[in-house]
Amino acid sequence: MPSFECCRLLNKESEIMKSFDVVCIGVVLLDLPVGPVDEHFFYHETTMVDRIRLTTGGDAFNEAVILSRLGKKTALIGHIGKDMAGEMIVKRCAEEGIHYEGMLIDPEAETRINIAMIDQDGQRRFLKTQTKVSGSFLPEEIDFSLIKSSRAVSLASIFSSKLRNMDTILQIVQTAREHQTVTFADMVPMTGGEGLKDIEKILPYIDYFLPNLEEARLLTGKNTPDEMADCLLQNGVGNVMIKLGKDGCLIKSEKERYRLLAYPAQVIDTTGAGDNFAAAFIASALDGKSLRDCGSFAAAAAAISTEAAGAVEAVKNKQQIEAYQAENREIYS
């Protein structure tokens, strides 16, 4: 498997042919964060909360927004409806400088909407609409020319679609490998008992895999972060980043291992913290940083993201994250 540095140099040499830094593929929707609330609101006719804000969301869209703000030329592949919510998403793409011509706008579907119920500790529970919109891994949803013309592709949630679409995901990662496009993958918790056997053909094509602790545990059946990472490495993944929430992250490859602490934060809302981590990690990797430096930059972005309501409201640019790192340098000294 080629190293990231090798892939990065190959992409540099073919810079004219690579139109984008990253193409993000996955869920695109609208988020409605509400909070803080507790279980007692169900028993009252009216409950006053501090925040209700309609914003764009979905793992792929969150990543695309942050990547664009971090100076990366970003394309987005997702599935939305031809409705008011879909129009809001297209407008937000234009505002954030995201290439959205690869989006599938479906007149027969409704754009997905998530309501995020945020508790006093900033943790959230979701109410989600059920629509015909998929997790953006159907064959007809993928513009493979975008993958070929990008330095990196991010599969924002490989279990966000039905397993019958795994052949499409395999085609995506094989196309990426053939065109020296580096692959990053995140995931969501499986709900149908899926496991490693369901994605064993895909894993050897994943250069960087970024699950959280619970996702990695469910996927591998292992007990500790190191065991989970080792299992994924043994199944062909190039580099593993396991997000541990307030306990930081574990980064592991065949030759390197780093257990990084989380940065301090005044937590308001954890929605999208993992997406901010992934986007910042990808941006830093594209800049040629070391695994450890990528992890530190990503951890800082994730911490900043929790200090405002909404997934992409807090992180503004690369300089903001670097200043945050400098202010808290003793954590990684």
* Residue 227 pLDDT exceeds 90: yes
Domain boundaries, the chain: 11-40+48-324
- pLDDT per residue as tens digits for the range 252-268: 999 999 999 999 999 98
Give me the CATH topology for the region 11-40+48-324: UDP-N-acetylmuramoyl-L-alanine:D-glutamate ligase (3.40.1190)
pLDDT number for residue 274: 95
Say if residue 202's pLDDT is above 90: yes
Task: Give CA–CA dist 34/298, Å, rounded.
Answer: 26
Query: Is 86 a residue whose pLDDT tops 80?
Result: yes
pLDDT at residue 128 tops 80: no
* pTM of the entire predicted model: 0.87
Alpha-carbon gap, residue 132 to 108, rounded angstroms: 8
**What confidence category does residue 333 fall into, taking pLDDT thresholds of 50, 70 and 90?**
low
Whether 13 shows a pLDDT value over 80: the answer reads no
Predicted confidence band of residue 9 (pLDDT cuts 50, 70, 90): very low
pLDDT at 53: 77
Buried b / exposed e over 92-105, threshold 16 CB at 10 Å, is bbeebebbbebbbb
Q: What is the mean pLDDT of the chain?
A: 87
At 241-250, the pLDDT tens digits run: 999 999 999 9
Q: Which of 72-81, 136-145, 189-198 has the lowest mean pLDDT?
A: 189-198
- Confidence at residue 241, expressed as pLDDT on a 0 to 100 scale: 98
Residues 72, 213: Cα–Cα separation, whole Å: 28
Residue keyed to tokens 């400098």? 326
CB proximity list for 154: less than 8 A, separation 6 or greater: 22, 23, 24, 25, 26, 60, 63, 184, 185, 186, 278, 282
* Cis before 36? omega within 30: yes
